Structure 1
Amino acid sequence: MTTSLVETQVRTLVSEQDYGKFEIEPLERGYGVTLGNALRRVLLSSIPGAAITSVRIEGVLSEFEPIPGVKEDTIHFLLNLKNVVIRIDSEHPRERYSLRLQAQGPGRVVAADIQAPMDVEIMNPELYLATLSDASARLNVDITVEVGRGYVAALKRERERGRGSVGEIRMNALFNPVTKVNFLVEPTLVGERTDYDRLILEVWTNGSVAPAEVVSQAATILTKQFEQLTTLGSEGLGDHAVVVPAPPGVNVPDRPLEEMGFSTRVLNALRSARITTLYRLLSKTEQELRSIRNFGDNALREVEEKLASMGLSLQKSSRRRSQS
């Protein structure tokens, strides 16, 4: 037996290339937080995108060597290169693309100097990359772009694929085009009832994909996950096992929380509970973090967003945990 829920409408309040604001109402009481949390987590962890994963710089064998005739050191240049925003204009994108940067001095080198295939677009062509000091200076770089999800460390790809060839410099890659998600739940009026929810969802992207598109993708991902459960009512739980595929996860090496960019307030609260490493943090549930002194909703949201941007999450509350 099912009970009909109130009919919901979705309105776009703001629509820009890198920012969108959406209103979803009316929702049954409590559904605002349920939908808001689910959408935020998927948006920050499971939307595919493109990123630079490795480069080969002419005349340079590793990131610790200088680039002849270039003002910036190699590491600084690579950090600038990581900020290039890439859009793949294809319904069936390839797994890997080859781009090339060629520049001759003197003068500035920007992202517009990158030569890309027809279906690859540089969204921030004005981005500064380097300065060539004199007329004899040349910068020739072979760039590899891949499509993926979440955050993938260079060390992880090295473990999976082995060490690259001589001169190949692998880079940490953040594929997710979504940079920030925020939601607000307010009461709304339906007839004479005031106990319905209105969900306001704000989404920021890097400009490679429109916010409305990523919200649609997130809803599709959630729908496909829940669809697997709709057969339980008719098939039962006996021998009919339903396997729900999880979005691709991301494994990152354990490291101190100080290196992850948390605010001082959050770090101090976690330290007071002897949580100082990523591994230790991932072993905790929301309830366990909430029980920490001076660790409120804002701190929890900061932790969840940081983990979600890396394709990670806290332990589920329902999971039975052994006592240490």
Structure 2
Amino acid sequence: MGGNILYTYSVECLVDRILSPCRRYTRFGIGPFESGHAMTVANNLRRGLLDGIPGWSVTAIRLKGARHEFSALSGVRESALEVLINLREGVLTGPPPLRENQKFTGMLTALGPGQITLGQIKFPEGITPVNPDHHVANLASTGKLDIIIQFEFTSKAKDPFVPTISSEDQSSFITVDPMAFPVKRVSYSIRMEPHPVTQAEVEYVFLEILTDNSIHPQRALVMASQYIIDLMWPIGGRRLRLGYKT
């Protein structure tokens, strides 16, 4: 099967639905492709979406009065471990940093009684919580919560993860593994249909993406495409040294 017209394909957003503050479902239709090419494109896009999309993630937390994650906090219903888990599950959004491995901090000092939510934490300008009502802790009338959060822009592709904590802070901060990767699930299906012009059998990819709503799915799709291009560039750009046996 030939003809450049088959490679002039389009990307169309068929469904875009916010299911909850941290769940956004989008379905794209991509095509047409020559027979056999749709699977290659879909597999690579899926891998790029799951591995190559960075996001803001909590990497270290300092709780005043907590020597370790199993400490009890005076006047706080939750243990230090429960507060850590609640903070780790918060979803942040904002533009990427200007420098790689740049760390940022958010701060909170609160007095009881009352509930503490993610939206009460003071973040740097441009960084906002997607789920500001997300529960962090409950304080009694005598309770006080003093928190410093370190968060960084990271992705699954950056492995292994090493938090950038200075030596003087290592004893006071509790490090946590990053988990806020924007793309949560990707699936696809392939359908064959006649080409609208040539009537030849061509393939269409229907790509379904579930994100945490910290990034627009269309932006994630563009970034995944660029991730695959960058991954293959050493081959396509002919920067590899090819060795030949004589």
Do Structure 1 and Structure 2 share a fold, with TM-score over 0.5?
Answer: yes
1:176 aligns with 2:212: no
Q: Which has the higher relative contact order, 1 or 2, with Cα contacts under 8 A spaced 6 or more apart?
A: 2
TM-score (norm 2): 0.84
Structure 1 residues 45 and 163: CA distance shift in structure 2, 3 A: farther
Contact 2:83 2:136 in 1 (8 A): yes
CA distance in 1, matches of 2:69, 2:177: 13
- What percent identity do the matched residue pairs reach? 23
TM-score (norm 1): 0.65
1:122 aligns with 2:129: yes
Contact 2:92 2:214 in 1 (8 A): yes
Structure 1 residues 176 and 90: CA distance shift in structure 2, 3 A: closer
1:204 aligns with 2:238: no
How far has the Cα of 1:239 moved from its partner?
6.5
Please list the CA deviations of residues 15-74 of structure 1 after superposition, one character each: whole Å capped at 9, or x if unmatched: 356222110011111112111111111111111111000011011111011111111111
Pairwise mapping of residues 264-283 of structure 1 onto structure 2 (< 5 A)? none
Structure 1 residues 114 and 37: CA distance shift in structure 2, 3 A: same
For residue 47 of structure 1, give the secondary structure of its aligned residue in structure 2.
Answer: coil
How far has the Cα of 1:229 moved from its partner?
2.6
Which moves more between the two structures, 39-48 or 221-230? 221-230
Contact 1:151 1:173 in 2 (8 A): no
How far has the Cα of 1:112 moved from its partner?
1.0
2:224 to 196, 218, 227: 218
How far has the Cα of 1:164 moved from its partner?
5.3
Structure 1 residues 74 and 236: CA distance shift in structure 2, 3 A: closer
Aligned to 1:292: none
In terms of fraction of residues, the more strand-rich structure is: 2
Moved over 4 A (4+): 158-164, 235-240
Contact 2:91 2:180 in 1 (8 A): no
Pairwise mapping of residues 277-296 of structure 1 onto structure 2 (< 5 A)? none
For residue 130 of structure 1, give the secondary structure of its aligned residue in structure 2.
Answer: strand
Aligned to 1:101: 108
CA distance in 2, matches of 1:151, 1:57: 29
CA distance in 1, matches of 2:61, 2:40: 42
Aligned to 2:28: 22
CA distance in 2, matches of 1:198, 1:208: 28
Structure 1 residues 177 and 163: CA distance shift in structure 2, 3 A: farther
Pairwise mapping of residues 149-188 of structure 1 onto structure 2 (< 5 A)? 149-150=155-156, 157=162, 165-188=170-193
For residue 194 of structure 2, give the secondary structure of its aligned residue in structure 1.
Answer: strand
1:80 to 71, 80, 86: 86
Aligned to 1:63: 69
Contact 1:152 1:173 in 2 (8 A): no
Structure 1 residues 180 and 231: CA distance shift in structure 2, 3 A: closer
Question: For residue 15 of structure 1, what is the amino acid of its counterpart?
Answer: D
1:53 to 43, 53, 59: 59
Contact 1:152 1:174 in 2 (8 A): no
Aligned to 2:139: 132
How far has the Cα of 1:176 moved from its partner?
1.9
Contact 2:189 2:205 in 1 (8 A): yes
For the aligned residue pairs, the C-alpha RMSD in angstroms reads 3.0
Structure 1 residues 73 and 179: CA distance shift in structure 2, 3 A: same
Question: For residue 217 of structure 2, what is the amino acid of its counterpart?
Answer: P
CA distance in 2, matches of 1:78, 1:180: 25
* Unaligned runs of at least 5 residues, structure 1: 241-324
Aligned to 2:233: 227
Number of residues of Structure 1 aligned to a counterpart in Structure 2: 235
Structure 1 residues 160 and 108: CA distance shift in structure 2, 3 A: closer
Aligned to 2:21: none
CA distance in 1, matches of 2:98, 2:142: 41
In terms of fraction of residues, the more helix-rich structure is: 1
